[in-house]
Amino acid sequence: MSLKITVIGTGYLGATHAAAMAELGFEVLGLDVVPEKIAMLERGETPMYEPGLEELLRRHVAGIEGSTGRLRFTTDWAEVGAFGDVHFVCVNTPQKHGEYACDMSYVDSAVASLAPHLRGPALVVGKSTVPVGSADRLAAYLAEHAPAGGDAELAWNPEFLREGFAVQDTLHPDRIVVGVRSERAEKLLREVYAGPVGEGTPFVVTDFPTAELVKTAANSFLATKISFINAMAEVCEAAGGDVAKLAEAIGHDDRIGRKFLRAGIGFGGGCLPKDIRAFMARAGELGADQALTFLREIDSINMRRRGQMVEMTREALGGGSFLGKRVAVLGATFKPDSDDVRDSPALNVAGQIHLQGGQVTVYDPKGMENARKVFPTLGYAGSALEAARSADVVLHLTEWREFRELDPVALGETAAARVILDGRNTLDPELWRRAGWTYRAMGRPKA
């Protein structure tokens, strides 16, 4: 008989994981403590924009016409306990307010709510990004609080999905990493991932701390790559070099690689910034803080980029105050193909200019609703063209495809001045210059 799977937490990670498990052929029950989220998912809708996810949900959510009916949702812990052989914990671990450490309260409360309802030899699998040592602690908790004789066990299975590619990354992962303490746990997880692993995906079996660390190490490396190239952009700016060419040239070395070397206003979102901070905080607790002091520098290079973009804008406007200046901002989300504005560099830059008196008008293809919630006092427009109307300068801050495909001639007819600053280094400088624009990008020569 096929395994029955539950997924606890239906945010980016959980909703995608639940839908992907159903796609792989399992019976799946998803739980969330927010009834409104469950109601949406039951209609085949997602609380966030993620390409392909709604289609996948509609293919499997029970009650939707033509669906396989393999995916159901609930808010009832007892139902989850009774249903699942394997329970995936996918709740989020945000940064604690005013601290570097991450907030483990959602993970802790998920495991505490589930434990008394576990029946039979259940496997609880942590997927959330957690400080190393959490799995050990949660395993001890389960041993103490799950019903005696039920043989409940813990495993750790970090998730590497990217927003905007969540479905693709979950169905076709680069690798699967599992931290286990028994052959039974390994066997169960191999069974769960038999589909993707059958296609040749590496399956790495390790202990709890290594599995937890793989995730934070991977995100730290990615953050380091971005901040490295942004540091090179600072040097290029000072020396008159071109960071885009530099990145291309060093990227030809296979040992370095070309990916994640795009200089600009830096990384944001719900993962990289908080994960490197939580990693530093945890290393401090372990007495290994010296090993990660470089991450403090990675973080400050990254945060500095936002201020540098503000200053570049000021300079493009002739220096001095932003008062009375109209600034069009293209992009509000932290990356394209997402409506996520958490720790978004684009929204941060827009907000800084606004707070300094600039008249800012933002347009984003999918992030308007979330941006309005975070920054209701900014101006918002229904299109890039409308945002650019009468603008003294246009800032390109999130690299949506829609912006790469803009017609600089049409935009130039409506803007007050043809000045565009590319904070993501993805527009074609020649195209904009040919249409009469002054094009400037971070870390690249002026003309």
Binding site for ligand UDX (CB under 6 A): 160-163, 219, 222, 226, 260-262, 264, 266-269, 271-272, 334-335
Q: How far is the CB of 406 from ligand UDX (least distance, A)?
A: 18
Specify the residue, 72 or 335, whose C-beta has the smaller distance to ligand UDX. Answer: 335
Contact 131, 96 (CB under 8 A): no
Q: How far is the CB of 276 from ligand UDX (least distance, A)?
A: 11
Task: Name the catalytic one among 90, 102, 236, 271.
Answer: 271
d(CA 335, CA 338): 6
Q: What sign does the dihedral 427-433-436-442 (CA atoms) show?
A: positive
Q: How far is the CB of 344 from ligand UDX (least distance, A)?
A: 7
Specify the residue, 61 or 222, whose C-beta has the smaller distance to ligand UDX. Answer: 222
Q: How far is the CB of 272 from ligand UDX (least distance, A)?
A: 5
Contact 6, 80 (CB under 8 A): yes
The first and second tokens of residue 77, run together, are 């812990």
Specify the residue, 113 or 168, whose C-beta has the smaller distance to ligand UDX. Answer: 168
Strands (E), 250-378: 326-330, 359-363
In order, the DSSP letters of 426-443 are -S-HHHHHHTT-EEEETT
User: Per DSSP, what are the bridge partners of residue 380?
Assistant: 362
Q: How far is the CB of 72 from ligand UDX (least distance, A)?
A: 26
Here the contacts of 43-46 (C-beta below 8 Å, separation 24 or greater) are 46/15
Specify the residue, 226 or 283, whose C-beta has the smaller distance to ligand UDX. Answer: 226
Q: How far is the CB of 302 from ligand UDX (least distance, A)?
A: 8
Closest C-alpha among 129, 233, 122, 136 to residue 184? 122
d(CA 83, CA 78): 9
In order, the DSSP letters of 8-59 are E--SHHHHHHHHHHHHTT-EEEEE-S-HHHHHHHHTT--SS--TTHHHHHHH
Tokens 């990675």 label which residue? 298
The first and second tokens of residue 170, run together, are 């979950």
Q: How far is the CB of 335 from ligand UDX (least distance, A)?
A: 4
Specify the residue, 100 or 334, whose C-beta has the smaller distance to ligand UDX. Answer: 334
Closest C-alpha among 255, 93, 83 to residue 159? 93
Q: What is the DSSP code (8-state) at residue 116?
A: G
Specify the residue, 92 or 359, whose C-beta has the smaller distance to ligand UDX. Answer: 92
Whether residue 90 lies in the annotated active site:
no
Specify the residue, 118 or 125, whose C-beta has the smaller distance to ligand UDX. Answer: 125
d(CA 351, CA 357): 10
d(CA 309, CA 346): 10
Active site residues: 271
